[in-house]
Amino acid sequence: MKDKKLVIFGAGKIAEIIDISFSSDSNYEVVAFVVDDEFKSSDSYRNKPLIGLSELHSSFPPSEHEAFVGLGYQELNMARKRAMVKLEGMGYNLATYISSSTYLTPEIEVGSNVFIMNNVNLQPMTKIGSNTFVWSGALIGHHSTIGKNCWITSGANISGNVEVGDNTFIAVNATIANDIKVGDSCFVGANTLVIKDLVNEAVVITEGHKPSRLNSKQFLKISKFH
């Protein structure tokens, strides 16, 4: 039974996935999409109303609706964080989605605006910070903490007692060894094995533990990852 109403911030591919997930596997009814006024190019998206942010409060008030920010990892998740702050400032409660196929163990903590896809394994005593997305097949090991505004991609393996800082991106099939601390705003590339702690803004884009000489802000400027 759909007993809650949800508005999704965003109108792109990620928002589409969010819509499908909530609509097919939750008690939320997705009723509309919202974008910043300057990005509103039509009146509908996926056969639902598409409105500008200035219309949101009057059209879908927070007393009757929750919201979810369905944006990607642009600027190491900062675009999603800014949208989240806007919606919270307008009085909206931010929903969380956890796939019914996710393996949930006792005593885990999950924040708001978290998106956890199918077949994720959350082991005991894990903590997932607000506004973090965890994609299909990822493993979050026991006693590990994932910070706010992170993006954990499919097949990532985060071992036990790991700390991942805020605003960090961990790519497909990356592995973080036990007891490792990953700083804020790090970029861990695909198939990378991390066996030493990473400082804030570290970039690891090859197998092994040696970070790039570039910090994550410099890396973003010269790559397509923005």
Residue 224 confidence class, pLDDT cut points 50, 70, 90: low
HSE-CB of 178 using CA atoms within 13 angstroms: 2
Polymer length of the chain: 226
24, with CB counted inside 10 A (0-12, 13-18, 19+), is exposed
- Greater confidence (104 vs 87) lies with 87
CA–CA distance, 20 with 107 (Å, rounded to integer): 28
Residue 225 confidence class, pLDDT cut points 50, 70, 90: low
Percent with pLDDT over 90 in the chain: 88
Q: What is the pLDDT of residue 180?
A: 98
Q: Which CATH class is domain 97-226?
A: mainly beta
Q: Give yes or no for residue 124 having a pLDDT over 60.
A: yes
Q: Give yes or no for residue 208 having a pLDDT over 60.
A: no
| Least confident among 25-39, 94-108, 128-142 | 94-108
- What is the pLDDT of the chain when averaged over all its residues? 94
Q: What is the pLDDT of residue 213?
A: 79
Question: In what side-by-side order are the strands of the sheet with 127-128?
Answer: 109-110, 127-128, 145-146, 163-164, 181-182
pLDDT, tens digit (0-9, with 9 covering 90-100), for 73-90: 999 999 999 999 999 999
In the chain, what is the straight-line distance between the N-terminal and C-terminal CA atoms, in Å? 39
Q: Give yes or no for residue 128 having a pLDDT over 60.
A: yes
Q: Give yes or no for residue 226 having a pLDDT over 80.
A: no
Q: Nearest 5°: CA angle at 62, between 101 and 95?
A: 15
The CATH number of domain 4-89 is 3.40.50.20 = yes
CA–CA distance, 116 with 120 (Å, rounded to integer): 7
Neighbour-count burial for 144-171, b at 16+ CB within 10 Å, e otherwise: bbbbbbbbbbbbbbbbbebbbbbbbbbb
Domain boundaries, the chain: 4-89, 97-226
Average pLDDT over residues 18-38: 98
Yes or no: say if 8 and 68 are a contact pair by the CB < 8 Å rule.
yes
Q: What is the pLDDT of residue 209?
A: 54
Yes or no: say if 165 and 183 are a contact pair by the CB < 8 Å rule.
yes
- Greater confidence (214 vs 54) lies with 54
Yes or no: say if 131 and 149 are a contact pair by the CB < 8 Å rule.
yes
Average pLDDT over residues 190-203: 96
Yes or no: say if 157 and 140 are a contact pair by the CB < 8 Å rule.
no
CA–CA distance, 68 with 34 (Å, rounded to integer): 10
